Amino acid sequence: MTKELPKDVIFDILSRVPVRYLLRFKSVSKSWYALFQNPNFISNHFKNQSAISDPSFLFTPHKSTTSPSTSDRNVGLILSDSSYKSIEIPIEIDIPLLTILKPLRVCGSCNGLICLSVLPIASIILLWNPATRVFKDLPISPIDRPRAGPIKVVLGFGFDDVVKDYKVLRIVYYGYPLNQVEMYSLSTDSWREIKTIVRFLIFESASSVFLNGKFHWNATRFEEMHGKKVIVCFDLQEEAFNYIMPPEFGFSGHVGEDLKISWSVVALKGSLAVIGSAEIGYRKMFEVWVMKEYGVVSSWMKYRSFELYTKDVRPLACGLNGEFLLEKDNNKLVVYDSDSQRVKNLGNNGIASYSNVFNHVGSLMPINGGKVAERTNLSSVVPDAFFVRKMDLTIE
């Protein structure tokens, strides 16, 4: 007769199983089903996964030419293991208005939860756990709007560890100096306006990093439109903007040359980092810099440099083991291992031009007030009429 393992041993073993496999065991027994909904188990499972698993790369995939309608309803995921398998997760919800509005966009990932917005200009915002298939549509903000129409919207999604609450930051640009900043709280399921001045223009395709309780983007200061780019930060606790100057790129002795340098902010092993690139002859050179002491500009340190003999390539994100996700020839994704100097091609499945790339670790984290997609078509979801109307779209 086989003896059952002690409960604490079962708890420990299951907490180390990746979420995409774990949910296959829901029907093993009622006790296992209950365990997967236990807050203590969910927390320990996520901590273990974050410690033993490299985060996957999450993004909005490039629109498919063969099946454009379905590609608008997928999220791209590159599993950061030895195979670097690229998959697409179908978004199994039915919002009638999606036939009128434009595609879904990935706006952030935190603790296994994903923030999505419906284009144009974030007229619908959703929170989603792809593992549990739970969705929640955010309510329409009651904040008074100016008569001017929005030019662009920037979203940030993160977890406030002090008050243990998920928050969505929305910056609405109407044209300098007119803008609005507002914050959504999942615990209260409500929006509120933050009275602050936005002195930065965050780039449309800027990478977005949530780190140390702060959002980070590439941006230009309004008063220095022709000056140097900066890293803009928004602190969830202080609810204020600040900025960090990027490092001085050297590119292996090419200092002083008239190089066109571009860079993007990323997270690397829990630290703020940037990937810079420049074209030199027939090659593209890259430098990766890490900020050893957060917020101290003098602590920028060059982490790695490498080069590829191609011009049409841009860095998207970095992994934990010296590998970098790149896009070349407009829509071909590759993973470059800077240690072995090997390139692994992932196929013609690049990211959408408007998409960021986020690190993602799957989890069982719940979404308060959320609904399981297979049980509802979310037909009650209503877009924010202000954003839709300003884009000259008619919702019937």
pLDDT tens digits for range 31-72: 888 888 899 999 998 998 888 777 788 888 876 544 444 445
Gap between the Cα atoms of 265 and 170, Å rounded: 19
- Tens of pLDDT, residues 157-208: 999 999 999 999 999 998 878 899 999 999 999 999 999 888 888 876 657 8
**Residue 137, CB half-sphere, CA atoms under 13 Å: how many?**
20
**Residue 5, CB half-sphere, CA atoms under 13 Å: how many?**
8
Residues ≥6 apart with Cβ < 8 Å to 69: none
| 3-class secondary-structure state, position 13 | helix
Residues ≥6 apart with Cβ < 8 Å to 255: none
Q: Is 101 left (phi over 0), alpha (psi -120 to 50) or beta?
A: beta
**What pLDDT does residue 182 have?**
96
Arithmetic mean of pLDDT over the chain:
81
**What pLDDT does residue 148 have?**
81
Please give the model's pTM, rounded to 2 decimal places.
0.88
**What pLDDT does residue 394 have?**
35
Cis peptide leading into residue 39 (ω within 30°): no
Residues present in the chain in total? 396
**What pLDDT does residue 72 have?**
57
| 3-class secondary-structure state, position 325 | strand
Closest CA to 246 of 291, 293, 313: 291
**pLDDT < 70 stretches in the chain:** 1-3, 63-73, 80-84, 92-102, 119-120, 204-206, 223-227, 252-258, 321-322, 348-350, 374-380, 389-396
**What pLDDT does residue 220 have?**
87
Distances (CA, A) of 166 to 156, 196, 226, 375: 11, 21, 36, 24
Gap between the Cα atoms of 1 and 21, Å rounded: 28
